[in-house]
Structure 1
Amino acid sequence: MTELKVVSVSKVYKKKTALYPCSLQATKGKCVVLCGGNGAGKSTLLKIIAGILFPSSGTISINGLEMNSSRETYLAQIGFMPDDFNAQEMMTVEEFLHFYGSLRRVGKDRISEVMDLIGLVDKKRELVKSLSKGMRQRLLFGQSILANPTVLLLDEPTNGLDPYWVNQFVEILNQLKKSGTIIVFSTHMMDVAAEVSDVILFMKQGNIIQTITNKNNIEETTMKLMKLHRQ
């Protein structure tokens, strides 16, 4: 069975705890959404799963392969989109995707397919530094899905997107779910969380304080999240 399993993962910086022991589990075609305010621990948890940060405790595995013991194989199965753009700004859009495609041994056809999917074909020869915030977000998202990852991790992917591209993003994620991709992403957009998720983990001060099983009732789930945000 295709499965992402996170067991009692925590992160402590010196004497400050950024993430208390957290666990989550997702199988093929399922989406887990992390919600909560700033400083809730969402980005920390995503970066730990992505292998960017090392956990202070706990284990993470994909299909039974633990990151600590099979790091290279583990990382090859992950696509990651960070929450900020610290990348090669003097590359063109096309060069940027080819660069990341070469790291994952992705062919030109797939790169062209992704460029079309994220709506940047007409911008392919423009420098990354000249792109708007929304276009940069779409480019970052594009590089994260280039290699058709088993697990897709997205940190605040809708930031800077206009309403049209938020809708497109939701459609793309739902298609990825149908293809079997496991998705974990963070968002402040409660309606997006309600539309895409199977499970929502609401986080506060480094803890998962509530788990919501989404029963495809968008309005009901959105209201639950609004109430949690106000508490």
Structure 2
Amino acid sequence: MPHPACGSSFLHSEKRFLNIGLGDIHAAEATLDEIFAYLEQADKPCIVAIDEFQQIGNYAEKNVEAILRTKVQHCRNAHFIFAGSQKHIMMNMFNSPARPFYQSVNMMQLQSIPLIAYKPFVERLFLENEKNIEPELIEQVYDFFEGHTWYVQLMFNELYILTGKGQLCDRSLHDTALTNILQMQDFTYQEIFSRLPEKQKEVLIAIGKVNPEKPDVPLNKNDAFQKVQKRRVQEKR
């Protein structure tokens, strides 16, 4: 699942790591000076991977992005990877002429983890804890969320909780797990919904009520929630 904090990992050819999270940074400029001094002094080129890069906008200092851009521009001993899960913010950071990182990178969109790789991963984690899961259920969950990792993992976490040791997690648990997640997230979804303009609310309500197989028959409340949730997955991609 996407990590909520911004973190950096530094790796050079001897495979030594230095990990820094958002909570470790107390004075942004001083910390950046230390990091880039470390990079320049390294005896071999480094690779710097910054996860959830869009989070730098949450720093109290307003010029962190510009300071970091200057540091990166003058760093000769490292290559940088900027990763983030909020596509629209990342696109704005690198494509807006008003932003410090404008056109400073080659952009790449990572596709969903393929089902052929995801299925053995899920099966292995269940087996390691003396549980089993139907291959068909893995496919069902993956297809329902169109391979979106955050939602897929959230669903499998709930399915794992619902399955006792020595038991088989089968397709009969799919709706139970989904309902549990919707109930847990209900307040969050209501809060998001309350902040939407009235026109967007009307559109979402209409989407949630339409049954694509029987347009004249409205969905029940739970089905409507599922449809709106799936729509949110598509919009987040």
Structure 1 or 2: larger strand share? 1
Higher relative contact order (CA 8 A, sep 6+): 1
| TM-score clears 0.5 | no
TM (normalized to structure 2)? 0.30
Structure 1 or 2: larger helix share? 2
TM (normalized to structure 1)? 0.31
